[in-house]
Amino acid sequence: MNKLIHLFSLEWLKFKNNSVFILFGSMFLLTFPLAIFVGKEIKNLPPPLPNNSIFYEFPTNWEWLAYEGSWLVCFFLAFIVMNMITSEVSHKTLRQNIITGLTRKDFFLAKLISVFALCIAATLFYVIVALLIGFFHNDPYSLDGAFSDKLWVLRYFLMCLGYLSFAFMIGFIIRSPGISIFFYISYTFLIEPALKWVVHYKIFSNSSINYWPMNAVEDLTPMPLMKYTENLPRQDLDFSFLLEPNHAIVAVTIYSALFIGLAYWHFMSKDI
């Protein structure tokens, strides 16, 4: 345990004053609790939605905040993780760390601990914001219904781990800051959707299409309105758009372990 704390403290000393960490970290912390209040401007919601209280009151505020947070994690925190790795290469501090005493395993472990620390911190922040917003919007002030679905905390944590472990792998494999970010965005929003619908769907028109890595991560904290469309008749698809929560949890756990394993294998086998 002392070794883990020591490695994390080294990472903290290296990046606490880093401009990318400060900028994107601040944007995440400010945007996350404030963006949900855009819902105050939505006065009339179409049936079967009740009113904009679903954004703020227990227990539905958990799912709306999780969906909003998934976008912020996907961008801000993932960019921090990639910068945390690629900047070591571009500034040549990776080689310096190894020369001055850290083993490759220690260097990798320090980065991995930082990823888990970001996931835990983001999840705790999510819980605090959800509880505060729900408490002050429930009438009278109370926590009734706050913990009716405890699975949302686990789903949010795994969503963070899914995105950040993917960014972690890309950072270790590509190593270039600009190319890493370009590939991350391209794969998440262009390449995987194209492979899903242009290739996979043409060959296998079934629910296996939902098990692509980033799709599984997205389905941990999906757009809450999607659940209202699941029972609508569809002539083109005979399967659900969304993975069952338990299936998404298992899939993302496996993918995260795979991403971390691939990053480790590549780092240990490549020249520094």
pLDDT tens per residue, range 94-130: 888 876 778 999 999 999 999 999 999 999 999 999 9
- Find tokens 């799709």 and name the residue: 215
Cα–Cα distance measured from residue 117 to residue 86, given in angstroms and rounded to the nearest whole number: 19
What 3-state class would DSSP assign to 206? coil
Residue 68: φ, ψ to 5°: -60, -45
Closest listed residue to residue 48, CA positions, set 239, 224, 241: 224
Is it the case that residue 43 has pLDDT exceeding 80?
no
Tokens, residue 77:
């925190």
- Find tokens 């999510």 and name the residue: 126
Q: Any idea where the domains of the chain sit in the sequence? A: 2-269
pLDDT tens per residue, range 119-162: 999 999 999 999 999 999 887 788 888 888 889 999 999 999 99
Give whole-number Cα distances, 158 to 66, 76, 119, 155, 258, in Å: 11, 16, 8, 5, 14
Closest listed residue to residue 147, CA positions, set 58, 232, 215, 225: 58
The chain-wide mean pLDDT, for the chain, equals 91
**DSSP result, 18-32:** -HHHHHHHHHHHHHH
pLDDT tens per residue, range 159-203: 999 999 999 999 999 999 999 999 999 999 999 999 999 999 889
pTM: 0.94
